Amino acid sequence: MERRMFGLTSKNLRQLAFDVAQKAGYDHPFNKETRMTGEDWLKSFLERNGLSLRQPQSTSMARIVGFNRPKVDQFFDLLRSIFANADYDSPKIWNMDETALTTVQKPSKIIAEKGIRQVGKVTSAEKGELVTFICAMNAAGGYLPPLYVFPRKRMVDVLMKGSPPGSVGYVT
């Protein structure tokens, strides 16, 4: 199911196991009020079957529907026809990608005194801002310097501290 982007939650699985046991007429120790198996059953089931609980990555329906065999074949057919009708050599073929980098790192677990309910760790900002990172490379191995786009009014040199040599920074 998870390969089709519809994974079962632990609650769904516990309810399903209860329903199967009920309909099959098995004598079971499951909770008849909640109509679910217990947490211990879930843990044992996952271990027996080589499964684990994982945090899924959110994927939009548009992305799921748009990425399928016919669409990919159509793209490569179009690409082949473009290359057949033109003289493109490798230095003229470029790939560019951009991603958003957060200015706030997720703090790792820390050791704290027992009984303290809330612990904090210093980060650059509570809300955080996204920095756009762009890189481009051609088929011959050439590349443009990495480009950072900061959501600020003025560019200051400290923003580029620790970036790869030759990187370029802009503000918007």
Are 56 and 101 in a shared domain?
no
Are 9 and 53 in a shared domain?
yes
Number of domains in the chain: 2
User: Average pLDDT per run of 10 along the chain, which is 172 residues long?
Assistant: 67 92 92 93 89 75 79 92 88 93 68 58 62 95 95 91 93 92
Are 6 and 56 in a shared domain?
yes
- Phi and psi for 118 in degrees, rounded to 5? -130, 125
Are 77 and 95 in a shared domain?
no
Q: Which phi-psi region, left, alpha or beta, contains residue 108 (left: φ > 0; alpha: ψ -120 to 50)?
A: beta
Q: So what's the pLDDT on residue 61?
A: 72
Q: Which residue has the tokens 């089931």?
A: 45
Are 18 and 94 in a shared domain?
no
pTM to 2 decimal places: 0.51
In a domain, residue 116? The reply is no
Asked if residue 17 lies in contact with residue 45, where contact means CB atoms within 8 angstroms, the answer is: yes
Structural domain of 62: 1-86
